[in-house]
Each structure stands twice: as structure tokens, then as C-alpha cells.
Amino acid sequence: MWGMAQNVLVVEDDKEIREVLRRYLERAGYGVTTTPSGAEALRLSAAGGVDLVVLDLGLPDLDGVDVLRTLREEGRMPVLVLTARTAVEDRIHGLRLGADDYVTKPFSPMEVTLRVQAVLNRARGASPDSGPVTYGGGRLRIDEARHEASLDGRPLDLTLTEWGLLTALTSVPGRVYSRYELVNRVRGYEFAGYDRSIDSHVKNLRHKLGPSGARIVQTVVGVGYRMGIDRDR
């Protein structure tokens, strides 16, 4: 049963891995529920009270990629993917579907715990005293305290990583951020090999921003990305 602590749902078909992750996460102060079933994971997440999902892609009943896609369509809760699929294409595919982090097996349970902490810290990192800020003559509105963003009055349904990208770029509009800088800003730690994954998240963010997405989030060839609209005075 969910308690007052932040709650992690571990979806993993290997019983030994499930229990090791449970012990490490509970030791770190999280409430933990585990299941080997993708269908059960979707039921539990839909019932509410889940702050983050640790999701194995190799499940016995449903394809983990389909579970990830459904989780992303139904809500904004962060998803950390566990997988034995080490190919770059598999990793990029998972990130494009909205995974907030990606760990390949074999892994250290302490590393998974630290990544869970980093993702959840980013999710609750806004200052409660900060008010909404607008950009581009009021077109883009960001309220970090409420974790809400809208463009031309239309709410933006962003994943945690997309939100992190948007707020990082708008922190200093016009400044060019390298992919490496954005990985550190968005994920909260350095991790070699993730810099190119930012491209997939930028593509998703632009898609959600609509026809003007590429003008709002601009590419600086050979360097990185910048916000193409100014903060309103």
C-alpha cells in the first residue's frame, strides 16, 4: 500500500532483481511496489500514487516498449527503463518514446537508486515562490512552481526530460547550450554516451511546440541548441 514517501513502481520479471531493487530503494526511503507484469503495472499506475516507474522492457506478458508508450500517453510520471537491449538503436527508440533515463543490464542497484533520486529531484525541483514567466510576447508561458507550460494558450503535455530541456534553454534565452551541458542540466549528472540522446528529446519537444517548434528551439550547427525567443520584460 502506498505511503507518504515518494513511491516507486518496479516492473521487472526477474524475481531476484525485483527484490534487490526493492531493498535498495526502500533503504533510500522510498515506498516500493513490485510486479513482473506489464498489465499489472498499467493497472497500478492508472490507480494513482505512483511517482516513478522503473520499467524492464523484457516482460513476459506485454512488450515493455508498449507499456512505456502507454505510460507516456496516460500521464507525466517519470519512467526509468531497465533493459538487456544494449544496441544504440534500442536505447534511442526508448528515449524517443519518452523514457526519462535508461540503464542497461547488468547494472549496479546503487546506480539505479541514484538515478531514481536524480529524476525525482528534477521533478520536484521548482521553487514554490517562483511565478509564471512569459516569452516571445506572451506566446510561451512557463510556471515552474506548478510545473506547467503553454504555447499560444495551449497547454504543453511534456515529459520530465522535455520539461527539463525547455526550462534549461529558457533560463538564458539566446545562449547556446552544448548537448553535454544539456545532459548535465536535464539529468542532473554526467554520463558518457547520453549527449546524442538529447537530439531525440529536442525532436519530441519541437513536435509538441507545433509548427513553430524549430524556430523556438533552434539548432546551432556543430554546437548545440538555444531558445529562439526572448523573455518578456
pLDDT of 9 reads: 96
pLDDT of 73 reads: 81
The mean predicted confidence, pLDDT, of the chain is: 84
Are residues 95 and 197 in contact, defined by beta-carbon separation less than 8 angstroms? yes
CATH number for the domain running over 133-227: 1.10.10.10
pLDDT of 42 reads: 95
pLDDT of 88 reads: 56
Q: Is the pTM of this model over 0.85?
A: no
Q: What is the mean pLDDT of residues 147-168?
A: 89
pLDDT of 3 reads: 41
* Predicted confidence (pLDDT) per residue in 19-66, tens digit: 999 999 998 888 999 999 999 999 999 988 899 999 998 899 998 889
* Predicted confidence (pLDDT) per residue in 121-137, tens digit: 776 654 445 578 999 99
The answer for residues whose C-beta is within 8 angstroms of residue 153's C-beta and 6 or more apart is none
| Higher pLDDT pick, 15 / 125 | 15
The answer for residues whose C-beta is within 8 angstroms of residue 99's C-beta and 6 or more apart is 55, 68, 79, 80, 81
**Closest among 131, 155, 139 to 230, alpha carbons compared:** 139
* Predicted confidence (pLDDT) per residue in 187-233, tens digit: 654 444 455 678 888 999 999 999 999 999 999 998 899 999 999 97
Enumerate the domain spans of the chain: 7-123, 133-227
Does the domain made of 7-123 have the CATH classification 3.40.50.2300?
Answer: yes
7-123 and 133-227 share one fold:
no
pLDDT of 190 reads: 47
